[in-house]
Amino acid sequence: MSTNHLLEINQYGQSIWMDNLTRDIIQSGELKDMVENQGISGITSNPAIFEKAIAGNVIYDADIEAGVRANLPIDKIYESLVFADIRNACDILRPVYEASNRLDGYVSIEVPPTIAHDTEATITEARRYFQEIGRENLMIKIPGTEPGLPAVEQVISEGMNVNITLLFSVESYVNTAMAYIRGLEKRVAEGKDISKIASVASFFLSRIDSNIDGKIDAKLKKGVDDISVEAKLRAVKGKVAIANAKIAYQEYKKIIRSERWQDLAAKGATVQRLLWASTSTKDPNYRDVMYIEELIGHDTVNTVPPATIKACADHCNVGDRLETDLDNAYTLIENLKDPDINIDLDNVMDELLVDGIDKFIQPFQSLMNSLEEKIKVLSPV
């Protein structure tokens, strides 16, 4: 039997979670096998994943029909399907949660993307999701928008596990880490235990390179007279996301060395790990596992879609690379300001956040439309 390279990654202090969840893999036993034998120690989901899982899949029809008979509105039928899958996945991962002393074994579910800019609605839905799903190893996903971070702080203070998603800039990661710290401090001030709360900061990768590569390709297409300028532009392609992530990890290290964090750690707090997200390579010219190989390091998570999981298991070159070539990473990011390159990274990150929320809203609405059509078909005449 060939070596599964995913199993080698854990020795470097990184956990591999899967960015996918369907009822098919739960009921077939595939998920259980991946958890028990293939190195998968957590699950992340989002509206796009559930849209693909549910739309057109007859495995959900019986439950949809039951919702129709119970006269449930569409949103409640949607939740009945998704919550059931999340609970079952949590149960499959519960042994990992217990064996890892609550480090891993989590299943993430996102609050509706339509409320990404509404602090109070996010808090309300996070509370409801956590209570109704009723699993200790549940993580509530909250977008790292400006209104999302006060929600993160509040739900952490209430003892919920949180996955802060759609982080692109190093600054957004630092703001997220501070929200986590404030939430823990608030809980400490109330005399409550902080030792059983977990959080990850989902830092996105391939979307950054796709955006910047597109801008570089547009410049190259217009034509560049100077060969040295062309070389500068080409040197940036496919490199920014990994450099950006390496810099974010250095900020993580500063945070956990701080007196403020050490005080919380002494009270039992668990570090908020950086989670590498959007890790499938979009450009076929790039190595298909580069967003895994280049970012293996201590106290991190990589959430990986199924195709990339298979690719990594087959041919990942595993090593501790997260803190290699740091000088080059800082230089690369600084060089984006070079007039010959002229890419405003802050603007790119703002574009990506807006686009990221939209990429979740569209499949969420599409799924609701699909459910509406299916309900019509399954409704009694």
**Rounded CA separation 154/123 (Å):** 7
Return the DSSP state at 158.
Answer: T
Whole-angstrom Cα distance, residue 348 to residue 253?
A: 25
Whole-number Å distance between alpha carbons of 279 and 96: 23
Q: How far apart are CA 343 and CA 328, in angstroms?
A: 17
User: Would residue 134 be called left, alpha or beta, if left means φ above 0 and alpha means ψ between -120 and 50 degrees?
Assistant: left
Q: What is the largest CA-CA distance in the chain?
A: 71
Residue 11 sits at the vertex; the CA angle it makes with 10 and 17, to the nearest 5 degrees, is 5
Q: Check if the beta carbon of residue 54 is closer than 8 Å to that of residue 41.
A: no
Distance from the Cα of residue 31 to its chain's centroid: 19
| Cβ partners under 8 Å of residue 113, min gap 6 | 47, 143, 357, 360, 361, 364
Q: Which residue of the set 32, 52, 141, 374 is catalytic?
A: 141
The alpha carbon of 311 is separated from its chain's Cα centroid by a whole number of angstroms, namely 19
CB 6 within 8 A of CB 313: yes
186 is a catalytic site residue: no
Residues known to be catalytic: 141
